[in-house]
Structure 1
């Protein structure tokens, strides 16, 4: 197992679920609602799994490889993107399922998520494969899979301040406790 492959698998599933929503008749609101609820929960679970497991170690290996500014920028951007996705998901919930406004909000969430995934696949995952050995990627894959399995029913959506997120991770790295993030301590102000 490799955490970068698990993240890519999640991305494929997210794309598949968005595509399903585009192919279901708008009159089937119960089906649309069920698939959207699954996708919305999955988007948040995936984002938090990355924030708890992947991004702290990306920062750690980037700093060790003297690429701190590059991985810091990637991480700041990813946390910002996760917040945009959370906001887009919340916007979908403000509309009646199956209406034009609902579809427009789903399309906006899809766009925010697609932009994030493309950037992450080009930058963060590529850098991580270059900077972290396969045994480390396997170890993190186990943690990532376990996190998603333990939280299969969903996690609370919490916007995070990107700068505070990076400061907290860097502080943990200096104190020897990387990845010891408390979701509540990273709330967006």
Structure 2
């Protein structure tokens, strides 16, 4: 098990649920509502799990390997993307399910999420695989899976200031500079 694979699995599920919404007749409002409720809760849970587990680990790995600037930029961008996705989800709620405006808002959420996933898959996940060993990725996968399982019913969406997020993670993890990490070694196996 590898946290980067769990994140990719989540991305595949998100794409699948968006595709399902595109294929349901607009008159099936109860079905659309149920699937959207599941998807929107999943999007927030996924973002929060990344913010609690993956991005702090990416920052630690970047600092440990002297690539802090690159991973800090990626993390700031990812948190900004998560905020945009949250805002797009909130916009969907402003429209009556099954209307053209509702479908347009869902499409905007899909676009924001798709752009984020593509960038994360190209940058953050790739960098993390290069910067950390399989044992560390496994340990983080266990924590990530546990977090998502414990919060399966959803969590409250909260926008974050991207720069403040990075500063908080770096100051919270005072052991970063010394190379002491809270979840296993992020050095290559």
Q: TM-score, normalised by structure 1?
A: 0.93
Q: For residues 80-119 of structure 1, what are the alpha-carbon distances to aligned partners after superposition, in whole Å with 9 as ceiling and x for unaligned? A: 0000000000000000000000000000000000000000
Partner residue of 1:108? Answer: 108
Contact 1:169/1:178 (8 A) holds in 2:
no
The number of aligned residues is 179
SS state at 1:174 partner: coil
Distance in 1 (alpha carbons) for counterparts of 2:84 and 2:99: 22
Partner residue of 1:50? Answer: 50
Partner residue of 1:151? Answer: 151
Deviation at 1:138, TM superposition (A): 0.2
Deviation at 1:172, TM superposition (A): 1.6
Partner residue of 1:98? Answer: 98
Q: For residues 126-170 of structure 1, what are the alpha-carbon distances to aligned partners after superposition, in whole Å with 9 as ceiling and x for unaligned? A: 000000100000000000000000000000000000011000011
Gaps (5+ residues) in structure 1?
Answer: 180-189
Distance in 2 (alpha carbons) for counterparts of 1:45 and 1:173: 23
Gaps (5+ residues) in structure 2?
Answer: 183-189
Distance in 1 (alpha carbons) for counterparts of 2:162 and 2:58: 15
1:126 aligns with 2:126: yes
Larger % of helix: which? 1
Deviation at 1:178, TM superposition (A): 7.0
Distance in 1 (alpha carbons) for counterparts of 2:32 and 2:12: 19
SS state at 2:174 partner: helix
Partner residue of 1:26? Answer: 26
How large is the RMSD of aligned CA atoms in angstroms? 1.2
Q: Which runs of 4+ in 1 moved over 2 A?
A: 175-179
SS state at 1:19 partner: helix
Q: For residues 30-79 of structure 1, what are the alpha-carbon distances to aligned partners after superposition, in whole Å with 9 as ceiling and x for unaligned? A: 00000000000000000000000000010000011110000000000000
Contact 1:3/1:138 (8 A) holds in 2:
yes
Q: TM-score, normalised by structure 2?
A: 0.93
SS state at 1:156 partner: coil
Distance in 2 (alpha carbons) for counterparts of 1:105 and 1:8: 24
Distance in 2 (alpha carbons) for counterparts of 1:34 and 1:50: 24
Deviation at 1:175, TM superposition (A): 4.8
